[in-house]
Structure 1
């Protein structure tokens, strides 16, 4: 693995760990700062909201910065946020530290994936992008458990100090690496394009191609389907499938390991079969959820399906990364991947909310899996409908992974304007 890609993977490992590790140290924080568990839960909610709402604006504002400056600087902000959380004298400062870390989350991941794709050979772009996002998968398998163990042994502040230290080391390594700059003109489009002449000259308009927005909807629905069940995996596995507490721990680990394998295989599939990668991965995830909604024939079958679900979900990530970059056309790939990351976050929140709503209304846990299967199937149908539209003819020499995997529509959606 090239050193710059390894450095970026370590950075995404830190980012993924920071996003989710709160769940493991939540009770300790509540006791130490003197607030309720519900209040501490805001550290997760506010982080996610900041990622979704602020991320695209940060990407747009920094679109013209060189990556050699942008990536280490953004990692510096991320380190600062974790250090602020570690030093926080009260809950307000802790919340502020989380927000500081969150505002660079989407831009960093998007820029890392875009840089890795630019470094890769033409037929390996999705696979190299998947190497970077592998850090997020590894964070759920190793980062969050390690952060929880550190917090339990040395206090929750030690978890944030460890994150800050590892992030600083990764940023230092990244600063020493030669990361390619974006191609000339690649910061236009979705990142903002100047109006030519007239009263609006010198102003920016944000343009999001309709095809890209449709891929974002596919991402949101597919992710929501998986997380409707995954959020409540522990009660599903104990109450519906009959596993004990230790069995749940093992199965969650298998889900993560399946995710690592799926991320790798999905990256290669997105390079070799770009038009089939999205339907196949979404279809597999939908089938897995549907089978988990049926009465379990055996615990071994449930274990296999749960591992398959992890592999299928993580395989969708490089496939959808490729789809949204292709759908963005001449727009900034970094902005497209920022929208992509926001869509995943919205999907996680939507799926968790839907699963909780069904359970609150007295539905059984298998019904949550069925609802998840319906959402993921809707994402699959939407992707298939998009591919039925006429496709643009690629320019000679265009890599297969960069040809639009779904010719959805070329309509542009124009948002608000801002000055530069």
Structure 2
């Protein structure tokens, strides 16, 4: 792996850890700050909401400023480090929330810029695979970052978790600054007459919004079940609570394998990658909604679900890059990242709603299968899909994508 790609993956690992580590140190924060578990849980929602709403604004600002990558990436990582330092020093819950918001401001644009840069550095037939190497940091954060952050918080207090995040993020930033990341190629001039006389070209073409909807539905399908994996695995399947930790680890390990395989598949079989990964996720969720048989078969399906979800990410990244064309690829890729966050929130909300209404736990898997199935059908219904995905595999990366946002979770 080239050193610049490794440095960007390390930064993404820190970002992914910061996004989810609150779940592991939630009780410690609640006791120390004197708020309820529910209030601390909003720190995750606030982070995600900031990513969704602020991501396009930060991206638009960096495009207007025409910041070089050598300036943009370290500067935004500095903002991310600052947010974690503020959280570590927070005298109260309000300051802690503000620190989370500061960290989240850099999230979308940073990951996007990393993926865009990796795609541009890659050989023509390896763009999705190199982009997947960067997003591998997200999968590694769920397997290693969040558990280690939780252990640090349990041993030394929740503030130490944020100090560790700040220190590791600073180290990754310094490594990144020692690397040479190529600048994005100059943007091709746009023809004002392309939209027709008296009409403005829309900032986001319809195909981009369609791919974003596919991402939202597919992600929501997986997280409808994953959010409530612990009660599902213990109460429905009959696993011991200690075993759940191992199964969640298997989900993450499956995600790492899926991310790698999915990147290669998106390069070699771009037309098939999205429906195959979404179809596998939908089938896995449907089987998990059936009465559980052998417990270890369920464990295998759970691992397969993680692999299918993470394999879909590089395929969908390539799909939205192709759908954006030359109109507004950077903003389209920001929407891509926001769509993943919206999907996570939607899935968690739907699963909670079903359980609150008294539906059994397998119903969350059935609902997830329906959402993933809808995403599959929508991806197959795109009339421009074959042309767009082939274009992503053959054409150079978008000119302005590196200045800001490129896909990903």
With the length of structure 2 as denominator, give the TM-score of the two structures.
0.91
SS at match of 2:15: helix
Residue 245 of structure 2 is aligned to residue 249 of structure 1: yes
**CA distance in structure 1 between the partners assigned to 2:202 and 2:174 by the alignment:** 33
What SS does the aligned partner of 2:203 have? Answer: strand
1:145 to 136, 144, 147: 147
Aligned CA-pair RMSD: 2.2
Residues 199-224 of structure 1 show CA distances to partners (whole Å, capped at 9, x for unaligned) of x9xxx987011111100000000000
Matches within 5 A, 1:220-259: 220-259=216-255
Helix, strand or coil at the partner of 2:125: helix
Supply the distance in 2 between the matched residues of 1:322 and 1:403 (Cα, whole angstroms): 12
Structure 2 residue matching 1:62: 3-state secondary structure: helix
Q: How much has 1:42 moved relative to structure 2?
A: 1.8
Could you report, residue by residue, the CA deviation over 1:151-171 in whole angstroms, capped at 9, with x for unpaired residues? Answer: 011111100000000000111
Query: Of the candidates 128, 131, 146, which is equivalent to residue 129 of structure 1?
Result: 131
Aligned residues of 2:323 and 2:388 also touching (Cα < 8 A): no
SS class of match (1:180)? coil
Q: What's the offset of the Cα at 1:388?
A: 6.6
Report the CA distance between 1:336 and its aligned residue: 2.7
Offset at residue 334 of structure 1 (A): 3.7
What is aligned with 1:15? Answer: 15
> Relative contact order: is structure 1 or structure 2 higher (C-alpha 8 Å, sep ≥ 6)?
2
Report the counterpart of residue 103 of structure 1 in structure 2: 105
In the alignment, the residues of structure 2 paired with residue 264 and residue 144 of structure 1 have an alpha-carbon distance, to the nearest angstrom, of: 20
Partners of 2:289 and 2:67 lie apart in 1 by: 48
Are the aligned partners of 1:9 and 1:135 in contact in 2 as well (CA < 8 Å)? yes
> After TM superposition, where is structure 1 displaced by more than 6 Å over at least 4 residues in a row?
193-196
Report which of the two has the higher share of strand: 1
Query: For the structure 1 residues 299 and 80, does the alpha-carbon distance in structure 2 shift closer, same or farther, using more than 3 Å as the test?
Result: same
Q: After superposition, what is the alpha-carbon deviation per residue over 1:208-265, rounded to whole angstroms, capped at 9, x for unaligned?
A: 1111110000000000000000000001101111100121111111100000000000
Quick check: 1:56–1:338 contact (8 Å CA) kept in 2?
yes
Q: Is the 8 A contact 1:272 1:401 kept in 2?
A: no
Residue in structure 2 matched with residue 335 of structure 1 by the alignment = 331
TM-score (norm 1): 0.89
Matches within 5 A, 1:281-320: 281-320=277-316
User: Is 2:370 the counterpart of 1:374?
Assistant: yes
Q: Is the 8 A contact 1:119 1:180 kept in 2?
A: yes
Cα pair distance change 1:111/1:403, threshold 3 Å: closer
Is the CA contact 2:322–2:389 (under 8 Å) kept in the aligned structure 1? no
Aligned to 1:400: 393
Give the Å deviation of 1:389: 6.9
* 1:195 CA drift (Å): 11
Name the structure 1 match of 2:41. 41
Stretches of structure 2 that go unaligned for 5 or more consecutive residues are 398-409
Measured after TM superposition, the shift of residue 309 of structure 1 is 0.3
Match of 2:401 in 1: none
Deviation, 1:387, is: 4.2
2:68 is aligned to 66
Change over 3 Å in CA distance of 1:375–1:273 after alignment to 2: same
The Cα shift of 1:399 comes to 6.4
Structure 2 counterpart of 1:119: 121
Contact 2:127–2:393 (CA<8 Å) still a contact in 1?
Answer: no
Q: How many residues align?
A: 391
Query: 3-state DSSP class of the match of 1:207?
Result: coil
Instruction: Kindly indicate whether the alpha-carbon contact (under 8 Å) linking 1:271 and 1:401 is maintained by their aligned counterparts in 2.
Output: no
Q: CA deviation at 1:335?
A: 2.8
Considering fraction of residues, name the structure with more helix: 2
